[in-house]
Amino acid sequence: MASGTGQWWQHPAATWVGGAIACYGVVIAVGACQYEGKWHRIPGHGWDFVSGKHFSSCYNEQPIDEGPSAPCYFGLRNEVQHIFCWVCLLPFAPWLVALVAGFLVEGQHGCYRADLHLGSIFILSLGSATVGHSMRRLADYLLFFFGFYAFYGAKIVGRAELECSFDSSDHVTVSMVGLAIAFAEVSVAYQSPRIVFAITALAAGVVWVCKAYFSFYTCSYFHTPAEVSAGSAAGLVLTGLFLKRLATSRDAAQSLNEGAEYSQLK
């Protein structure tokens, strides 16, 4: 029988997630080393920023006066305008890619086809007790992502109550959450046909590059090194809880499978 210990460091996803976050940590550490002063966006529809006595407009991607380097990096406007896409939806791309690729590669008798079929049942009938493995993983991913927003809401309330100016980097925290979701799916695809694994890993790689790129500039311009460290610590805690959840789910699934096999032998 499964041990049921739920030790997260023994879960296959721990290696993939840990490696991705370790490389990401190097990027944000380098970004934090570039920090010269904290920039704040001036409210309004423009792209104007202020840091102490220094003002910068990113309309032409050039600072107006001398001082600390201005936060006018490529993609700044795109990130702000499409924050929901980059932050909320992009980390789920590997899951969707793995599901579709597995469906196409393994055919009618593959497990991914069963997942799609059961997923359709789940969508049409929310009371269905049986869903495919992919849908269960999606539920775990969504639970993890909503856990971040619960943390974010608690942080906002706490800052307001304490009137604290310290702002731990939510961008770093949510990036770690997204990387954990993306590379947990890579660990699952590793057991699939090579083409499915390759496509899923490529999608996760795109997620990593996007997260690392934007986080580098976030750590350089919009958060102090201490705030980056606090955001990293929160991300690591949430990632540990996520891996613990995956390990517990795996133990439960193994127990159910072994119980079913035992019943068939009786």
Contacts of residue 240, defined as CB under 8 A and 6 or more positions apart, other chains included, come to: 8
The verdict on residue 42 lying in a domain is: no
pTM metric for this prediction? 0.78
- Flag whether 234 is in a domain: yes
Question: Is residue 162 situated within a structural domain?
Answer: yes
Q: Do the domain assignments include residue 130?
A: yes
SS3 221: helix
Q: What is the pLDDT of residue 248?
A: 72
Residue 214 lies in a domain: yes
Report the C-alpha gap between 28 and 21 in whole angstroms.
Answer: 10
* Domains: count for the chain: 1
Domain that holds residue 193: 12-35+71-250
What element of type H or E holds 56? strand 54-57
114: in domain: yes
Residue 132 lies in a domain: yes
All residue ranges of the chain with pLDDT < 50 are 1-6, 63, 66, 108-131, 251-266
Contact 46/57 with Cβ under 8 angstroms?
yes
Give the per-residue pLDDT at 246: 78
- To which residue do tokens 């986080």 refer? 215
Residue 126 counted as domain residue? yes
* Interatomic CA distance for residues 255 and 31, integer angstroms: 45
What pLDDT score was predicted for residue 135?
Answer: 77
Give the per-residue pLDDT at 65: 52
- For helices 194-221 and 93-106, the axis angle rounded to 10 degrees is 170
Q: Residue type at 167?
A: D
- What local confidence, expressed as pLDDT, does residue 80 receive? 64
Q: What is the pLDDT of residue 249?
A: 65
- Give CA–CA dist 144/177, Å, rounded: 8
